[in-house]
Structure 1
């Protein structure tokens, strides 16, 4: 029996969900009242299909299994999983999620792609099955990157989280169940810390955007793609591991090597960042850069799966 994903809101993230689900052999129903939404989505899927084919399509994968509904109520009918992707405005999300909750079958799971809001805040206006409304935060490009952060709210029962976990695993994703709700969840809080520091380095004239990206690409980023932060530092302690690393380098945590607050986005800083990125793009369009990124990710994911298989005891956590 085929499964149905309903996507509400078809921007970059919503379209990423659509492409992933189609590649996994799901039926997909989308709703977006914006003019030209369906044409943009079908163009997006056609572009992503090259990378998805290289990554491997599931049985039944077919872009033609996508349909657009003319109302939210029609879109959620028959859905196993509903993904909300409207703009990051809390009042708007609560309004849309309440409408989804009122119209969807009681057993359907409703995931919000929000990158920052807590699920308990999103559930406030839901009057039917509020607990099944959770955060399901993916990463761009959604059709390739497997991580999805799952966060339940105050009304969410363990069984609802478990059902959500199983559904996202059916989409070939790696659900990370966040233990307690917090603004920004896990990955975005980590990325924001690096982003703030990078802006300070540009603002203070220490490095260009290209030099900072090189520091990540050819240094820490290579290690992070396999080991993350903690295991990388564990190795830095030599044979004695993390305990020795903390004893040796722990005092450095008190040194003023980082700035916690983001710099003010002055016109000068904005110009430096924009000009730096345009220099790095070297005349290539965003579409060209997207394809380059996707080709790289397909190959990189193969290496990650080779060296970090599911057998390492992370089932159910990531």
Structure 2
């Protein structure tokens, strides 16, 4: 963003679904001007309602949604929405032809120095930019939901991506309090979702087989793996599990049955019967509370974890990280 020092940066957010609303709230909280482009009927009302839901649980403390909304702009025309912006954060449906046409238009209308970022969770930048004359600044910036709270952003380039653009994208995300991780290779669904999917596969299998119910499964994860992984990653956890001998000891002595245990994992089919079975349990377990209530509780708990970690790990990025209103 070559002109970001001279004026308040402008970010065009395309799409006002759940992910787009999280990005909008986060960017506004860091003093950026946000220009929203959305095909949703009543987009302005939806965005303002979203601010009222997400602003109270922003990292660093609650913000006044009306104060944030003062830097909002709305532009229904995509080409006009990206004119003169520093960054585009795209959040359209996971439809490759749609994204290809969208980025062709965005690439023609946005400034040549603008970062063109996509929140896609499945598509690769070279594929999305297939119709662009210049896709060197098209990059995946995949957040983990909710993007206004969870720090991770997976930054993914393609064969045509300029190395300097990847560095700029990572710097931009750091400026709004995120923890960007640049992937060394572009793989479908990236890393976080692949890990989540692997665990979810076994979760579905265990619930479908009647070993546990949905609520019991969630309790097991939050009181064991989730707690552990909120402080150390899988490799460090097993390195510690090996005692003084570390990961090498664990793998050669305690982990000898790993391959056998992998073969024992379930492979559930996501047929209509399974979908109905899981959905009915979820509605029975969670249906007595609104989306806004559940999301607010989730965000407050996640902020509490991040704040606690920040207090004992000074270098850790967390909700107490100072806002960069002058980014």
Aligned twin of 1:291: 296
- Structure 1 residues 261 and 151 mapped into 2: Cα distance closer, same or farther (>3 Å)? farther
1:227 to 209, 229, 232: 232
Which sections of structure 2, spanning at least 5 residues, go unmatched? 1-6, 318-327
Aligned twin of 1:140: 145
Aligned twin of 1:245: 250
In 2, are the aligned partners of 1:123 and 1:131 still within 8 Å (CA)? Answer: no
Compute the displacement of 1:311 (Å).
Answer: 7.2
1:191 to 188, 191, 196: 196
2:83 to 48, 52, 77: 77
- Structure 1 residues 54 and 166 mapped into 2: Cα distance closer, same or farther (>3 Å)? closer
Aligned twin of 2:208: 203
- Structure 1 residues 262 and 6 mapped into 2: Cα distance closer, same or farther (>3 Å)? farther
The 1-side partners of 2:70 and 2:231 are apart by: 36
1:60-139 alignment runs, 5 A limit: 62-127=68-133, 129-139=134-144
- Structure 1 residues 54 and 160 mapped into 2: Cα distance closer, same or farther (>3 Å)? closer
TM score, norm. by length of structure 1: 0.92
Aligned twin of 1:215: 220
In 2, are the aligned partners of 1:5 and 1:81 still within 8 Å (CA)? Answer: yes
Aligned twin of 2:321: none
Compute the displacement of 1:308 (Å).
Answer: 4.3
Aligned twin of 1:316: none
How large is the RMSD of aligned CA atoms in angstroms?
2.0
The 2-side partners of 1:18 and 1:87 are apart by: 17
- Structure 1 residues 56 and 281 mapped into 2: Cα distance closer, same or farther (>3 Å)? closer
Equivalenced residue count is 309
Compute the displacement of 1:272 (Å).
Answer: 2.4
Structure 1, residues 78-130: CA drift from partner, whole Å, max 9, x if none?
A: 21110111100111111111111111000000111010111111121111x31
1:7-86 alignment runs, 5 A limit: 7-52=13-58, 55=61, 62-86=68-92
Q: Which has the higher contact order (CA 8 A, sep 6+)?
A: 2
The 2-side partners of 1:308 and 1:210 are apart by: 32
SS at match of 1:184: coil
Counting helix residues as a fraction of each chain, which structure ranks higher?
A: 1
The 2-side partners of 1:140 and 1:295 are apart by: 14
